[in-house]
């Protein structure tokens, strides 16, 4: 009885709030309609622009107004001058990279966003209008591409996805990504509305020339989705030009952190002596120990000790590569050679590879010679060596610092 009485008393309040809400929705609709009506006028002066579709959806909780139109000349959208945002992209980082350990981030970078593929998007809005891709100062060496786009739209693009990737199985998307659009070609466009409050239909800034389609959704907060109908291959040539690989004189180079990470995975960690069956043991991350010196390592090593040891040993392999190679290399090319030298137990043995690199032989020849190092007197290691060479070539050619197979980090086979 009391509940009925309470309901009766509150019903005018509920009705009033529903009325207010409906008024609010109507005002949004009206405002949106005004805007939508303005769109053709806004674009009318541009030949070839046409409104293709216009629809209003009322879900009860919010209103979505979708307009789809074609803009042949994107510059037709008049707007305020863009506030430049710079997106720095790299694919040279590995999963081990976190926002905490990215080295040498220049001070103007304010945000670092990691996505699950080996891409890192760095975003800043603190740059000035005068900034161009050419004059971005003090970029860390792992940054390979710079794209200037206009706020408040963020388009994240990757071309490293495979055909098997779907919107559903892209793992671990960062929280600010709300939608994933897969293009027929292996291009993924990720969309965010985390900055959408800043925009409206009329303030969409001049769009980059590759954008020929604009889908505008007005909801509680406006969301803009910019898409391209240019085939991805062409888009690559427009938006993501192949930048010349940066090569450095080997004298100043060092094995990269990505290299260490992959090498540790490939070598596996053994806290105790691990028999090689051919004259010695390994311990830690594949450190060779002759049978005669086995007693020195009876106590074993911890992971931390092994990481320290591998970093102490690496300069010797770096020096060997520097001694033999007399042409500039990219970081990943250098890393691949170090990994090979580590596995061979010295770079002086890789004479064909040295000759190929110094004489700048074509890649097929280098790959053939690289893949020759799969012979061993030790039994049953050829398959592992084939895989190892493939991993090194992946680093050398594609800066791919991921193992090509499932690797077992922990090894135990004591004798």
Binding site for other proteins (CB under 8 A): 276, 278-280, 288, 290, 316, 323-326, 343-346, 348-352, 354-355, 358-360, 369, 372-378, 385
Nearer to other proteins, 249 or 346 (CB): 346
Closest CB 150 distance from other proteins, rounded Å: 45
- Cα dihedral value 268, 271, 276, 277, nearest 10: -150
Nearer to other proteins, 69 or 342 (CB): 342
Closest CB 359 distance from other proteins, rounded Å: 4
Closest CB 348 distance from other proteins, rounded Å: 5
Nearer to other proteins, 45 or 292 (CB): 292
Closest CB 351 distance from other proteins, rounded Å: 5
Q: Where are the alpha helices (DSSP H) in 214-295?
A: 232-239, 257-267
What is the rounded CA–CA span in Å between residue 119 and residue 209?
Answer: 24
Closest CB 269 distance from other proteins, rounded Å: 20
Burial class of residue 213, CB neighbours in 10 A (0-12, 13-18, 19+): middle
**Residue 206's CB: how many other CB atoms inside 10 A?**
16
> Phi and psi dihedrals of 206, rounded to 5?
-50, 130
Closest CB 331 distance from other proteins, rounded Å: 21
Nearer to other proteins, 372 or 413 (CB): 372
Nearer to other proteins, 181 or 296 (CB): 296
Nearer to other proteins, 142 or 347 (CB): 347
What is the rounded CA–CA span in Å between residue 233 and residue 225?
Answer: 21
**Residue 123's CB: how many other CB atoms inside 10 A?**
17
Nearer to other proteins, 44 or 279 (CB): 279
CB 77 within 8 Å of CB 84: no
What is the rounded CA–CA span in Å between residue 136 and residue 67?
Answer: 37
If DSSP states are collapsed to H, E and C, what string results for 168-213? CCCCCCCCCCCEEEECCCCCEEEECCCCHHHCCHHHCCCCCCCCCE
What is the rounded CA–CA span in Å between residue 316 and residue 348?
Answer: 12
Closest CB 369 distance from other proteins, rounded Å: 7
Closest CB 356 distance from other proteins, rounded Å: 10
Burial class of residue 67, CB neighbours in 10 A (0-12, 13-18, 19+): buried
Closest CB 339 distance from other proteins, rounded Å: 13
* CA 255 remoteness from chain centre: 21
Nearer to other proteins, 220 or 327 (CB): 327
Nearer to other proteins, 16 or 288 (CB): 288
Q: Please, what's the b/e burial string for 275-310 (b: 16 or more CB within 10 A of its CB; e: otherwise)?
A: ebeeebbbbbbbbebeeeebeebeeebeeeebbeeb
């Amino acid at each position: 009885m009391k509940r009925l009485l309470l309901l009766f008393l509150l019903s005018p309040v509920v009705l009033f709030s529903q009325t207010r809400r409906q008024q609010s929705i109507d005002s949004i609709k009206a405002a949106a309609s005004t805007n939508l009506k303005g769109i053709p006028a806004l674009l009318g002066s541009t030949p070839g622009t046409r409104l293709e579709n216009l629809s209003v959806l009322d879900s009860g909780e919010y209103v979505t107004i979708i307009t789809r139109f074609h803009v042949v000349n994107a510059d037709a959208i008049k707007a305020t001058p863009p506030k430049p945002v710079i997106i720095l992209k790299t694919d040279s980082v590995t999963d081990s990279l976190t926002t905490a350990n990215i080295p040498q981030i220049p001070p103007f970078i304010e945000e670092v966003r990691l996505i699950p593929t080996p891409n890192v998007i760095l975003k800043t809005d603190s740059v000035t209008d005068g900034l161009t891709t050419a004059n971005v100062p003090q970029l860390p060496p792992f940054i390979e591409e710079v794209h200037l786009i206009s706020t408040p739209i963020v388009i994240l693009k990757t071309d490293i996805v495979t055909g098997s990737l779907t919107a559903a199985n892209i793992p671990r998307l960062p929280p600010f990504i709300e939608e994933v659009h897969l293009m027929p070609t292996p291009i993924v466009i990720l969309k965010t509305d985390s900055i959408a409050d800043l925009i409206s239909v009329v303030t969409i800034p001049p769009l980059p020339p590759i954008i020929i389609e604009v889908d505008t959704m007005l909801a509680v907060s406006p969301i803009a989705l910019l898409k391209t109908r240019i085939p991805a291959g062409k888009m690559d040539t427009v938006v993501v030009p192949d930048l010349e690989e940066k090569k450095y004189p080997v004298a100043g180079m060092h094995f990269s952190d990505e290299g260490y990470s992959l090498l540790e995975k490939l070598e596996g960690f053994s806290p105790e002596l691990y028999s090689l069956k051919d004259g010695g043991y390994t311990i830690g991350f594949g450190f060779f120990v002759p049978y005669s010196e086995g007693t020195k390592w009876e106590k074993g090593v911890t992971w931390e000790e092994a990481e320290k040891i591998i970093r102490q040993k690496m300069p010797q392999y770096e020096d060997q590569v520097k001694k033999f190679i007399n042409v500039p290399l990219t970081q990943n090319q250098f890393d691949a050679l170090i990994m090979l030298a580590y596995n061979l137990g010295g770079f002086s043995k890789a004479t064909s590879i040295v000759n190929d690199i110094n004489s700048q032989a074509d890649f097929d020849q280098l790959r053939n010679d690289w893949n020759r190092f799969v012979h061993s007197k030790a039994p049953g290691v050829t398959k592992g060596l084939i895989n190892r060479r493939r991993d090194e070539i992946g680093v050398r050619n594609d800066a791919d610092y991921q193992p090509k197979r499932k690797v077992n980090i922990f090894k135990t086979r004591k004798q």
